[in-house]
Amino acid sequence: MDDLTPLFARLGRSAFRSRFRLNAKEQAYLAERGLDTILTHAEEFIAQRLAPELPLNDGKQTPMRGHPVFVAQHATATCCRTCLSKWHGIAADQRLSAQDQRYIVAVIRHWLSDRYQ
């Protein structure tokens, strides 16, 4: 896995991306379920909502809150195919490869790990 430091430095300079925080309910959910379970959810969300060549409701498929993964996706620009293309260089017009999906989950893991107590 490539070093994510440059990506997170860029995300940190974005006023929009850097404003995302887990609320108390999302933080409690992460603590109760544990990071591994939450990352299993991330794998499922990515496979269902982002991986298809033409995702349903692209650009609107990721809620802004309600689950730690959703918040992490917006904070890390892994929320839709447009953001994946702009921030991560992952083409928007093709199905996500298994490698792309693992990368996205690794980015989400990195963000959530800093918030996991």
Q: How many domains does the chain have?
A: 1
At 63-89, the pLDDT tens digits run 889 999 999 999 999 999 999 999 999
Residue pLDDT tens, the chain, 117 long: 468 999 999 999 999 999 999 999 999 999 999 999 999 999 999 999 999 988 877 878 788 899 999 999 999 999 999 999 999 999 998 999 999 999 999 999 999 998 876
DSSP calls for 6-38: HHHHHHHT-HHHHT----HHHHHHHHHH-HHHH
pTM over 0.85: yes
Domain interval for residue 46: 5-52+61-113
